[in-house]
Structure 1
Amino acid sequence: MDTFSIILLAIFFVGFIGIAFEHKFKVNKSWLALFMGTIMWMAVAFGQTKAQLHGPLSDSFAEIFELVIFLMGAMTIVEMLGHFRFFTWVEVRLMKFNISNRKLFWILGLITFFASALLDNLTSTLVMIHIGRYLYIKKQNFNIFVINTVIAANAGGAMSPVGDVTTIMLWLADKFTAWQIVLYGFLPSIVAWIVPQAILTAKIEYEDRIGRDLKNGLPTQWGLIIIGFSTFGVAVLINMLHLPPFFGILFGLGIIAIVIDVKFKRGKLKEKAGDIVNLVKKIDMATIYFFVGILLAVDALKYAGTLDIMAQSIFGSDILNNPGALITGHTSLGLLSSFFDNVPLTAAAIKMLPDGIHFIYWILLAITAGTGGSILIIGSAAGVAAMGQVDTLTFNDYFKKGSLPALLGYIAAVGTWYLMFILLGF
């Protein structure tokens, strides 16, 4: 690795430390991430021409734009679901069953796991965090719930062709079929969730839940709620038109706004239904800035070739004749994804690995890249979103409570894949 790559990594880790100890430095993580990302690109741009930077910057900005617009749309829809009392309805229904704290914890984890496979890990995390705000009173319990939500969402997304950006990339690159990732990825993925879930359950404290006052606010508007959830499905299906998911989100938002204007600005709902326009103001822009800063930093490492160098050093040479190197490489790449965005790491693996590799190895990469990001809160889009949405959940809090369970789940998932690998005779 050359000197320049080492300098870039040094800047990244200094920023990483600043984010980890934001409460001690009294500086918001979002501003630290923005500073880190921009200064790394300044270092990369030094001595480069405008023509040399144009392509890489355009690619970076396009990726950031897609994610930011998707995140803003998803957050708006989640706010809308709360505005029309979906989360209150969920709370009431669950409380009627008089479920214990720990049973509730398992039910929500299971919902998150499968919702992530059907939608995606980022959207599922946002929705479940809002549900958790209604169901948990103690900060300790809520933080444990959010940690488990990130782990469950990443695990569920890893077993689905549309559950995570990396699985979408591998699926579209014909590394495996949709049925292959579901069939062979399910068992390792569910192990990656169940092991941490079992460990974290012991940390849930008893609490008496007091039902919220249901007399105030709008009646539950199922028509809009169904449209809101359908929007996330459209975001997945829009891929068939070779358009990015944010097109589906914007399409759904447009439909919701039109329905509100035409139908709900009348009669008894006229005064309060108009408040939906103001939901955009409730979006946590600090989370958006945090995303932008992290993505800028990782893209700078990608442009400088640092991520490619790291990937090449992991896999070595003569990969086709060395299955052990593939297994070790994919496992190491998953661990790296706890620090770095798994998308460029996966892209580097797809680019550098030769054709002819059996699909079962690519499924291992989907599992490791998807679940390895759970080890640290900055290792996945779901974790970054959770950190931005929940002020009480710091990097250190996640590291102390969630990193070891997530790591044990990761090791168990890889071990499960390996047992399947041996038993199936690949």
Structure 2
Amino acid sequence: METVIIAVFVIGYLAITLEHNLKIDKLIPALVMMAISWALISLGIDDFTQWFDSGKHALLDNFGLLAHEEKMHLMEETLLHHLGKTAEILVFLLGAMTIVEIIDYFDGFSTIKSFIRTKSKVRILWIFSFLAFILSAIIDNLTATIVLISILQKIVSNRSVRIWYAGLIIIAANAGGAWSPIGDVTTTMLWIGDKVTTLNLIKYLLLPSLVCMLIPSTIASFLPAFKGELEEDIDEDANKPKSKFSSTMLYLGLGAIVSVPVFKTVTHLPPYVGMMLALGVVAVFAEIYSSSKFSVSGVDSEESDSHAHHSPVHHSLSKIEMPSILFFLGILMAVAALESLGLLFGFANNLKEGMPMMGTEIDGTLVSDLVVLLLGVGSAVIDNVPLVAASLGMFSEGVDDQLWHFIAYSAGTGGSMLIIGSAAGVVAMGMEKIDFFWYLKKISWLALVGFLGGALVFFLTRMWLA
């Protein structure tokens, strides 16, 4: 039965990886894979000889000797445990996404666009690289990529030039998301799972992540695509009326999201509680500002009518990308099924104990580093969310162990090596219709150099801070 469950997982994985070839949204195989895996566990519960206790992070003794009813009860408890942990991540993401949509409702991100005054291609490259690096740490790499490419489309009219910028934005956004607990789904998973703390994550990963962004951007500065200046272009939004609350909502929303790690540190409550508080505060101001907007601009009947039938919060909730939320639900619960059977735990032990180098056993730390580097490369081919979810079941190291910091770096930045390897890459691919092989030829080598450079800096940082 274990073999069948593994086969279901592999087939589901392939379907997710080949999403664009099969023309099937990746959330579908993720949900089907999850449901079938747990159904097979339930039907074959008496055939399993081991069970993994996620709370104690160890295999249960004498699981095979338990009665059928006891096994079913244990399975239901385990399923509920994993659903609760997954729900923490999903509720957190829902809150963050809603705050970002509220900012966008008030055109808050136009404030960022107003800062860009130069026409130099190299200067614009550096501006967008640093914006992506910083914004992704605050509003997550997926959202930062969407925001910056939307701004880029208003600044750079030539698509052949714009896709070069998009490629570097992907690298910078993934690098920026790696050092922040709210910058990437994978780092959020590690943070919520009590594997890393905010201050240590920043302390160990800020410099490696910065190097991961700086190296590709520096090399790109000398490429022909970024020579010269942009052509003069008419700004279609220049004459559009701006909400007087744009800047206020931008700073309020970003400040609310940034306050979540502080809330967790002070109260020791799960991060999703702080995110719900942040959402509530931002929503209150959004409703107040929206009412003020109506009364001040009541003469403008077109603007008033466009907002009169729903509140900013309702409008923002309607724009949440639910397919991504359901995908995370499916993939995290599917990985939980493998973890519950003890498969990931056994695989990790075998890997760490048996990995040879030139016929000899090597140091355990080096083995772990090699495994995590492979995880980073693998995240370029396969979605990094299930890989990190698997690592949570594979390793039992304590909170803030350097292994978790390196996993956060590798999974967060390794996906930049292929355009399908990260959420930021997939959304950029959709927005700019970037060809897979164009990215592979032009951008992948830059991402690889940045990834390896950042990994080297991480090793040096780890030695220095140890």
* TM-score of the two chains, using structure 1 as the length reference: 0.78
Where does residue 50 of structure 2 map in the other structure?
none
Partner residue in 2 for 1:316: 353
1:26 is matched with which residue: 14, 23, 26? 23
Check the 8 A contact 1:158/1:167 in 2, yes or no. Answer: yes
User: What letter corresponds to residue 302 of structure 1 in structure 2?
Assistant: E
Letter in 2 for 1:213: D
Tell me how far apart the structure 1 counterparts of residues 83 and 190 of structure 2 sit (CA, whole Å). 22
Aligned residue for 1:86, secondary structure, equals coil
Using the alignment, how far apart are the partners of 1:399 and 1:45 within structure 2? 43
Q: 1:389 offset after TM fit, Å?
A: 7.1
Give percent identity, aligned residues only.
Answer: 30
Relative to structure 1, is the Cα distance of residues 360 and 314 closer, same or farther in structure 2, using a 3 angstrom cutoff? same
Instruction: Provide the residue aligned with 1:107 in structure 2.
Output: 127
Structure 1 position 245, deviation (Å): 3.1
Secondary structure of the structure 2 residue equivalent to 1:316: helix
Q: Is the CA contact (8 Å cut-off) linking 2:256 and 2:282 kept in structure 1?
A: no
User: Aligned pair 1:416/2:441, yes or no?
Assistant: no
Q: Could you say which residue in structure 2 is the equivalent of 1:268?
A: 296
2:90 to 65, 68, 76: 68
1:272-303 Cα shifts (integer Å, max 9, x gaps): 65452323323333333333343344333333
Aligned to 2:256: 231
For residue 56 of structure 2, what is the aligned residue in structure 1? none
Cα-Cα RMSD:
4.1
Residue in structure 1 matching 2:326, options 289, 311, 317: 289
The unaligned stretches of length 5 or more in structure 1 are: none
Q: Which structure 2 residues correspond to residues 342-361 of structure 1 after superposition, within 5 A?
A: 342-348=387-393, 350-351=395-396, 353=397
Amino acid at match of 2:345: D
Match of 1:332 among 374, 377, 380: 374
TM-score, normalising length from structure 2? 0.72
Once the two structures are superposed, what CA deviation does each residue of 1:3-47 show, in whole Å capped at 9, x if it has no partner?
3464144323331343142xxx33334434433443444444442
> Per the alignment, do residues 195 and 400 of structure 1 end up closer, same or farther by CA in structure 2, a change over 3 Å counting?
same
8 A Cα contact 2:195 2:404, kept in partner = yes
Contact 1:337 1:345 in 2 (8 A): no
How far does residue 363 in structure 1 lie from its aligned partner after superposition?
Answer: 4.3
Secondary structure of the residue aligned to 2:416 is coil
What one-letter code is carried by the residue in structure 2 that aligns with 1:258?
Answer: V
Moved more, 372-381 or 232-241: 372-381
SS of residue in 2 equivalent to 1:69: helix
Asked if the contact 1:287–1:388 (Cα under 8 Å) also holds between the matched residues in 2, the reply is no
Distance in 2, matches of 1:268 and 1:143, equals 41
Give the 3 Å change call, closer, same or farther, for CA 393–252 of structure 1 in structure 2: farther
CA drift at 1:111 = 2.0
TM superposition outliers: structure 1 runs of 4+ over 6 Å: 168-177, 317-320, 394-397
Task: Tell me by how many angstroms 1:232 deviates.
Answer: 0.8
Deviations 1:98-135 (A, max 9, x none): 33234212211112223344565455445445444544
Q: CA–CA distance in 1 between the matches of 2:150 and 2:343? A: 38
Q: Partners of 2:428 and 2:33 in 1: how far apart?
A: 17
Question: Structure 1 324/282 Cα, relative in aligned 2: closer, same or farther at 3 Å?
Answer: closer
> What is the alpha-carbon distance in structure 2 between the residues aligned to residue 238 and residue 173 of structure 1?
16
Aligned to 1:367: 409
Larger Rg: 2
CA contact (8 A) 2:388 2:407 kept: no
Q: CA deviation at 1:263?
A: 4.8
For residues 11 and 224 of structure 1, what CA distance do their matches in structure 2 show?
45
Cα gap change, 1:31/1:172 in structure 2, threshold over 3 Å: closer, same or farther?
A: closer
- Answer yes or no: is the 8 Å Cα contact 1:144–1:200 preserved in 2: no
Letter in 1 for 2:100: V
How far apart, in 2, do the equivalents of 1:391 and 1:334 lie?
A: 25
Q: Where does the alignment leave 5 or more consecutive residues of structure 2 unmatched?
A: 46-70, 299-303, 356-360
- Mapped partners of 2:192, 2:370: distance in 1: 24
1:29-76 residue CA offsets vs partner (Å, 9 max, x unmatched): 443443344344444444236424323332333344333333333333
**Kept after mapping to 2: 8 A contact 1:286/1:388:** no
CA gap 1:349/1:62 in 2 versus in 1, 3 angstroms: same
Q: Distance in 2 between matches of 1:297 and 1:387?
A: 27
Closer, same or farther: CA 176–418 of 1 in aligned 2, 3 Å? same
Alignment map for 1:248-263 (pairs within 5 Å): 248-263=274-289
The verdict on how the C-alpha distance between 1:408 and 1:243 changes in structure 2, with shifts beyond 3 A counting, is same
